[in-house]
Amino acid sequence: MNTANQSIKPVTTKINDKGNIEIGGCDLTELANKYDTPLYVFDEETIRSICKSYKDAFKSYPKMRMMFASKAFMTKAICKIMQQEGFGLDLCSGGEIYTAKSAGFDMSKTLFNGNNKSYDELILAVESSIGTISVDNFFELSLLNNIAQSYNKKVRILLRITPGIECHTHEYIQTGHLDSKFGFDLTQLDEAIELIKDEYTNLDFVGLHAHIGSQIFEKKVYFDEVDVIFNEIKRIKDKYNIILSEINLGGGLGIKYTEKDLPVSVYDIAETIIKSIEEHAEKYKIESPYVFIEPGRSIVGTSGVTLYTAGSSKQVPNGRKYQAVDGGMSDNVRPSMYQAEYTVEIANKPQQKSDTLVTIAGKHCESGDILAKDIMLPEIDEGDIICFYDTGAYGYSMSSNYNRVLKPAAVLVNNGKSDIIINRQTYEQLCENDTIPDRLN
């Protein structure tokens, strides 16, 4: 069964009677005119559709728990949608914790994750009654125990491990292989457990956490991940008589950015994960644990598009044709950082023949500020609205004010209605944290 992550476009995408692209019942050119560009547009129906697919795909395993990886796109509105859909939140910073709390999210259904959590962030996590903290290293073990002790609390923890599984994805988004900044190496696990048993008595060790990467198209890596984790669960039980009741498999399921991408469906990975869990529970005579997964990109990636307005253009003699837009690496750094590719259309000319080879350039003072290189589009006129699909994940969340460019607005569309979920930044807000020392006046 196909799921939304296997589609390039949001599930509600169509060409309307005006000949324009429409998403969530809203004409993209009208959205651009109303809210200005660059503009992030999120289709609520696509988000909820993929959430429902995850729940349906894993329904045969009653101990499955869904956690949205909020680093993909974190706003108060998204928190509300995730809570309504029965998802928890995987949080990676104090800012994400604060956002979830501000949205009224049930903090008992959250996990705090990250390789260098600060003292202040751990204080905030403990004060916020975070459900579980995934501990990444020895420094954090000691720090968290001291904080929990000072609050007279016992904090539930997972130990994050590097399982030694290398999936076929960009090296920057591989997290499960041995040479990684994340987690305990398996050879360090016993030392960590002994510290918890003997010294860090304010930590309640309930399970293991592993994450094998992002933008994954393979099924077998999830089977292998379960194999590594269950082997450790059995070994820990035999050596320490500690029965772990939870495992967190991370997320990482890929989405379809271009026709070259062939991601598997949610149902495919669910079948693999459930089969692996059941087989290994039987093999090792272990009670089936609670299993958490943390999809992020596959939840919001396909739902989002970014709209730009075409500006200047340049034809290099005997070379490329460059078309500049009013955004760039400040609102989507992925092409510069990962050499990411996207599917692009002109929102007001979707049915015109794509017969012009063009490179879409951002407006920033970097030669590498290229959003799409050598793609075929209809002839672009100044003022056309250019639509980049699949920007829902890691667009806004990785955005910046480079060149003091303002961060864009984001809107949520559904059934012909559009609502602002992030206001466009103003120049006043851009400068509000600047100060001038008295000696400069």
44-300: CATH homologous superfamily? Alanine racemase (3.20.20.10)
Tens digit of pLDDT per residue, the chain (441 long)? 899 999 999 999 999 999 999 999 999 999 999 999 999 999 999 999 999 999 999 999 999 999 999 999 999 999 999 999 999 999 999 999 999 999 999 999 999 999 999 999 999 999 999 999 999 999 999 999 999 999 999 999 999 999 877 644 434 333 444 566 778 999 999 999 999 999 999 999 999 999 888 899 999 999 999 999 999 999 999 999 999 999 999 999 999 999 999 999 999 999 999 999 999 999 999 999 999 999 999 999 999 999 999 999 999 999 999 999 999 999 999 999 989 999 999 999 999 999 999 999 999 999 999 999 999 999 999 999 999 999 999 999 999 999 999 999 999 999 999 999 999 999 999 999 999 999 999
Residue 285 CA to residue 180 CA, distance in Å, equals 31
This prediction's pTM: 0.94
Cβ atoms < 10 Å from Cβ of 203: 22
Contacts of 53 (CB under 8 A, 6+ apart): 3, 4, 265, 266, 267
Residue 394 CA to residue 338 CA, distance in Å, equals 12
Contact 207, 245 (CB under 8 A): yes
The CATH number corresponding to 4-42+304-431 among 3.40.50.300, 3.90.1200.10, 2.40.37.10, 3.40.605.10 equals 2.40.37.10
| Phi and psi torsions of 92, nearest 5° | -125, 5
CATH 3.20.20.10 residue ranges for the chain: 44-300
pLDDT at position 166, please? 62
CATH 2.40.37.10 residue ranges for the chain: 4-42+304-431
**Start-to-end C-alpha separation, the chain:** 66
Residue 84 CA to residue 381 CA, distance in Å, equals 42
Catalytic (active-site) positions: 365
Token pair for 3:
């799921």
Token pair for 195:
């510290």
Residue with tokens 């035999």: 238
Token pair for 396:
């806004």
Token pair for 401:
């004010």
Contacts of 250 (CB under 8 A, 6+ apart): 175, 176, 209, 210, 211, 212, 225, 293, 294
Contact 269, 277 (CB under 8 A): no
